Amino acid sequence: MDKKDESVGLHLHSKDESKISEMLDLLHIDFESETGRTISLETGDSACSKNVMRKQRNWEKRLATKKSKRKAEKLRRKLRHAEQSRTDVDSPQHSKRFVKVITKERLMEARLAGPKLCVDLSMTDCMSPKEISRLASQIRRLYGSNRKAARPFHLVLTDMQEDGLLFQECLRMNDGFLDYVMDITAESCMELFPRDNVVYLTPDAEEALETMDTDKVYILGGLVDESVQKKISYLKARANGVCTARLPIDEYMVKKSNQKNFHSKILAINQVFDILLLFCDTGSWAQALGAGMPPGKGYMITLESAAEMQL
C-alpha cells in the first residue's frame, strides 16, 4: 500500500469513529436510586421512561403481595398443624394415632375382663362359597362395631380353620384381619367353654333373653343361610346340652303392615351384635331393638315399648 492509499484509509477510519461518537452522544443512561436504571433517548419522548417506571412499580407491588400471601399461608399451615397435633384428652379433636392407641387399650382390657361373645364358625359346611363370603363381611362389620364401642366385648372366633375358605375370605376382604384384637381358634366353642356358662343365641329358642350376665359366654351361630335351612344352630345347641335364648323381639315389637307382607326375625350376626352392644349400654331392650332392628324385617316397637323409651 502506498502513502496515498494509507492516507485514505486513515481518513475513513477517523470518519467512522466520528459517526459512532455522534451516535453515543445521543444516548445517555439515567440511574435511579431505588427503581434500577432506565434508558432514555433524546430523540424520543419521555413516555418511554415513564412506562418503564410504571411497570417497575407494578412488579414491586405484585412481589410484595406474593410475599404477604406466602407468610399468611405459612401461618395458617402452622395453626392447622398445631390443632391436629393436640392430644389432650378433654379435646374433641384427636389424632388418628391417639384414637388408635386408645381403641386398642379398650379392646385389650375387654379381653381380660369384658363380657365374652363367641361366634361359632363350625357350620361352614352348610354354606355355599357366596354365603361364606358374606359371613366374612359380617365378621368385619361386627369387629368394626366392637372397636367403636365404649365398652367392647371380648370376641372369640371358634372353629376357624386356617386351611378353610372362610379364613381365606377373611384375609382377602378384611384389611388387617390377623391384627384384630380378638381370639381366633380352631377349637370348638363346646370344648373351649364350660357348658354351664354358655348361652347360645338362636331365633328358634323358646326363652327370651332378659339380661346379660358377665359370667356367661354368649354364642352367635356363624351361619348365612339363604336356603333357609331350619333350626341348624338351635339343634346343635340342644344336642350339646347348652342353654339357648333368643332376642326378645316378640316381647317388645309387633309386625307392621307392608306391601309384601314380609316379616323375619333372622338377623345377621353383626346386626345381633349391635343390638346386644346397645342393650349393654342402655339397659333397655326397647331402645336396643328399636335402633338395631333393620326396617326391612317388617317389625316395629310396640306403643308400650315406645312409651318406655320416652321415660
- Percentage with pLDDT > 90 across the chain: 49
Identify whether residues 232 and 260 lie together within a single domain.
Answer: no
pLDDT at position 17 is: 54
Asked whether residue 16 is domain-assigned, the answer is no
Asked whether residue 135 is domain-assigned, the answer is yes
pLDDT at position 18 is: 56
Model confidence at 39: pLDDT above 60: no
pLDDT at position 101 is: 82
Side by side, which strands form the sheet with 116-120? 183-184, 154-158, 116-120, 217-221, 198-201, 243-245
DSSP H helices in the chain: 3-25, 47-84, 96-113, 129-148, 165-173, 189-192, 232-239, 249-252, 269-282, 285-292, 303-310
Model confidence at 264: pLDDT above 60: yes
| Residue numbers of the domain that contains 307 | 248-311
Q: Left (φ > 0), alpha (ψ -120 to 50) or beta: where does 303 sit?
A: alpha
pLDDT at position 237 is: 93
The CATH number for 180's domain is 3.40.1280.30
pLDDT at position 63 is: 79
Confidence at 219, pLDDT banded by 50, 70, 90: very high
Q: What are the distances in angstroms from CA 80 to CA 69, 84, 87, 138, 203? A: 16, 6, 14, 38, 51
pLDDT tens digits, one per residue of 132-157: 999 999 999 999 999 999 889 999 99
pLDDT at position 90 is: 41
pLDDT at position 30 is: 44
pLDDT at position 156 is: 96
pLDDT tens digits, one per residue of 166-208: 999 999 998 889 999 999 999 999 999 999 999 999 999 999 9
Cell of 162: 386356617
pLDDT at position 144 is: 94
Identify whether residues 235 and 104 lie together within a single domain.
Answer: yes
Identify whether residues 182 and 270 lie together within a single domain.
Answer: no
Mean pLDDT of 38-57: 63
CB atoms within 10 A of CB 104: 13
Confidence at 32, pLDDT banded by 50, 70, 90: very low
pLDDT at position 145 is: 95
pLDDT at position 66 is: 75
Identify whether residues 291 and 231 lie together within a single domain.
Answer: no
* Residue 141 phi, psi dihedral angles, 5° rounding: -70, -40
- Percentage with pLDDT > 70 across the chain: 74
Identify whether residues 256 and 240 lie together within a single domain.
Answer: no
Q: What are the distances in angstroms from CA 241 to CA 47, 199, 201, 236? A: 106, 10, 14, 9
pLDDT at position 260 is: 79
Identify whether residues 230 and 280 lie together within a single domain.
Answer: no
pLDDT at position 138 is: 96
Asked whether residue 44 is domain-assigned, the answer is no
Q: Considering the chain, what is the average pLDDT of its residues?
A: 80
Identify whether residues 125 and 262 lie together within a single domain.
Answer: no
Identify whether residues 211 and 254 lie together within a single domain.
Answer: no
- Among 28-32, 159-163, 295-299, 301-305, the minimum mean pLDDT is found in 28-32
Cell of 149: 364401642
Mean pLDDT of 25-54: 53
Closest CA to 276 of 107, 117, 137, 134: 117
Identify whether residues 140 and 273 lie together within a single domain.
Answer: no
Closest CA to 119 of 182, 208, 37, 75: 182
For the chain, what is the largest distance between any 2 Cα atoms, rounded to a whole number of angstroms? Answer: 139
Asked whether residue 284 is domain-assigned, the answer is yes
Asked whether residue 277 is domain-assigned, the answer is yes
Among residues 246, 266, 283, which one ends one of the domains? 246
Asked whether residue 20 is domain-assigned, the answer is no
Identify whether residues 117 and 173 lie together within a single domain.
Answer: yes
Among residues 226, 246, 266, which one ends one of the domains? 246
Model confidence at 5: pLDDT above 80: no
Grid cell 333373653 in the structure block, residue: 209
pLDDT at position 12 is: 44
Among residues 228, 246, 264, which one ends one of the domains? 246
Asked whether residue 26 is domain-assigned, the answer is no
Q: How many CA atoms lie within 13 A of 234 on its CB side?
A: 12
Q: How many domains does the chain have?
A: 2
Identify whether residues 304 and 234 lie together within a single domain.
Answer: no
Mean pLDDT of 290-311: 83
Identify whether residues 107 and 240 lie together within a single domain.
Answer: yes
pLDDT at position 28 is: 46
Confidence at 68, pLDDT banded by 50, 70, 90: low
pLDDT at position 131 is: 94
Asked whether residue 89 is domain-assigned, the answer is no
Model confidence at 43: pLDDT above 50: no
The DSSP annotation for 206-218 comes to SSBP----TTSEE
Mean pLDDT of 208-219: 94
Grid cell 379364613 in the structure block, residue: 167
